[in-house]
Amino acid sequence: MARKTRNVKRSPTPLTEITRIDEANVGRLGLISIQERVPDTFSSWTVEFQVDGRPATLTCDAMPKYGGVPHGLDGDIATAIMDLYVESGCPDDGLLHTTAYQILKRAGLDDSGRYYTNLKQTLYRLRTATYSASEAWRDHRRGNWTTVTFNYLQGLDFTSGDEDLNLSRSSALRIRLAEPIVRSVRSQYTKPLDIEFLTSLDRPLTRALYRLLDARRYSPEDPRTPRLSYSVNLIDWAAACKIIDQRSNKIRSTLQGAHDELIERQYLESVEYDGRGKKQVITYRFVEVGGHKPELDIQSSPVMAELVSHKVSISVARRLMEEFGEIHIRERLQKFRRLLESGYRVRNRSALLVDVIRDQEDKYPEPSSAPSSVPGRAPAPVPPPARMPTLEEAMHEPETLEARVEKAMKTIQFLLRDRLSVSEYGLLRMGLIVGQPDPERIMRAALQAKRDGTLDAFTDDLLSVLTTMNHEVLSAAPGA
């Protein structure tokens, strides 16, 4: 389902000026996968999490004949239906009388040709997919967590505009929303929804991520005041987004485009990753809309000025100042300068500086701190700063192809961990044996990526090489 091209790039509306609302349970739980496309066979998912220290579960069971679980633009349609229902006065029976044209227009979607057919598929998915929220659905009136099972649309009737029984511009619809959703809306368990900003976003995935992220900004107990930041484990976030491939590098690449658009549109100030593999934490920092955060001016802060001179962005520099304080950062700036003066090899100075400031594990020992080997004697020669060894230093004598492949595999598996699957590591081993890629070159590139902090990008490039190689092997096979 395509969108109209939008020329106006809206910025978020100040909270005090937002007049539209969304049901808070639906937004927080993320009932609809953010992915634009899913296989028809992706017909169920289960997410386990904690609510007030107790286990909770959310499941979805859908029908492959309608295209699997609700996903992508289904979220735009669901939001439009909710908005039209609220606009109609929130009738207690959950009934909404509308037209196919009104739904598409409210969702900001085109209303021509095949989009009505796609709308019909979406409505069927929302009607037939069954959700079960175990101890995860907030009962706002009673102030507790309950278990509910429902279909997003409890009822669906419509008139067809042609002999093929499809929807058309003139199709009238009678939709009944799920009773738990109706009950929540009528008990005012809602959060603000900037629908004008939402519908102005370009990509379906960006809009879906915005809906989920904006809901998570608010406390589930009292969804009125938004947080300025939100942190979550990367794998847990992928489950909340209903992303199919939950390898850390794939999650990051799936979200990257949406992150870039939300930063460009001034909803997010930054997106930060901390840690490795399945232990990574992603932190979203939001722009304060309608207010102005007091600036730590470069002119009035020499420390800020030096951070910016090393190409650290002003927003990151400001957060470092707020988190660690000026004295700590001044000391780490001195340490950073000593590292550079001692010949420490680095390609991305700003990334190294931020890591030196945040370092709590003494990853960057100073030459001056090395003790003498024997009391009373002159200090032993100071070793160079810690760095990854070069390939030449690691190799002491000529090795067989098997040994070189094994060394490369061990190095790459140690560095990439779960960024590649078992089958992809098998494909890599096969490629190393035939020299595609070359064992020495790929190991050197992996070590360099580790030093530069670009292992995710390295993994994507490596997968591209392996995929190309695999296609060439298959096309050259007899009978291909």
The single-letter DSSP state of residue 36 is: S
Count other Cβ atoms within 10 Å, centred on residue 36.
Answer: 14
Instruction: Sheet containing 44-51: give its strands across.
Output: 44-51, 54-61, 130-139, 144-151
- Residue 396: what pLDDT? 40
Instruction: Say which amino acid occupies 92.
Output: D
- Residue 8: what pLDDT? 66
Specify whether the CB–CB gap between 386 and 361 falls below 8 A. no
User: What average pLDDT score do residues 320-345 get?
Assistant: 85
**Which residues, in sequence order, are CB contacts of 106 under 8 Å at separation 6+?**
80, 83, 84
Which tokens sit at 373? Answer: 């080997």
Domain boundaries, the chain: 15-286, 302-368, 391-476
Of 435, 461, 436, the residue nearest 448 (C-alpha): 461
Torsion of CA 399, 405, 411, 413, to 10 degrees: -160
- Residue 30: what pLDDT? 94
- Residue 393: what pLDDT? 40
- Residue 408: what pLDDT? 85
SS3 label, residue 102: helix
Residue percentage of the chain with pLDDT more than 70: 85
- Give 23's pLDDT tier (boundaries 50, 70, 90): very high
Instruction: Say which amino acid occupies 257.
Output: G
pLDDT at residue 159 tops 90: no
Of residues 82 and 419, more confidently modeled: 82
Q: What is the DSSP string of 349-417?
A: HHHHHHHHHH--S--S--GGGPPPSSTTSPPPPPPPPP-PPPHHHH--S---HHHHHHHHHHHHHHHHG
Residue percentage of the chain with pLDDT more than 90: 44
Of residues 451 and 68, more confidently modeled: 68
- 257, β-bridge pairs: none
Evaluated on CA atoms 82, 85, 91, 97, the torsion sign reads: negative
First-to-last alpha carbon distance for the chain, in angstroms, is 36
Which tokens sit at 50? Answer: 């904690």
* Alpha carbons 103 and 122: distance in angstroms, whole number: 12
Count other Cβ atoms within 10 Å, centred on residue 33.
Answer: 24
SS3 label, residue 436: coil
Specify whether the CB–CB gap between 433 and 405 falls below 8 A. yes
Q: How far is CA 304 from CA 19, 268, 271, 309, in A?
A: 39, 22, 21, 9
pLDDT at residue 2 tops 50: no
Q: What is the mean pLDDT of the chain?
A: 83
User: What average pLDDT score do residues 435-452 get?
Assistant: 85
Which tokens sit at 69? Answer: 């679980």
pTM beyond 0.85: the answer is no
pLDDT tens sequence across 182-193: 999 999 999 999
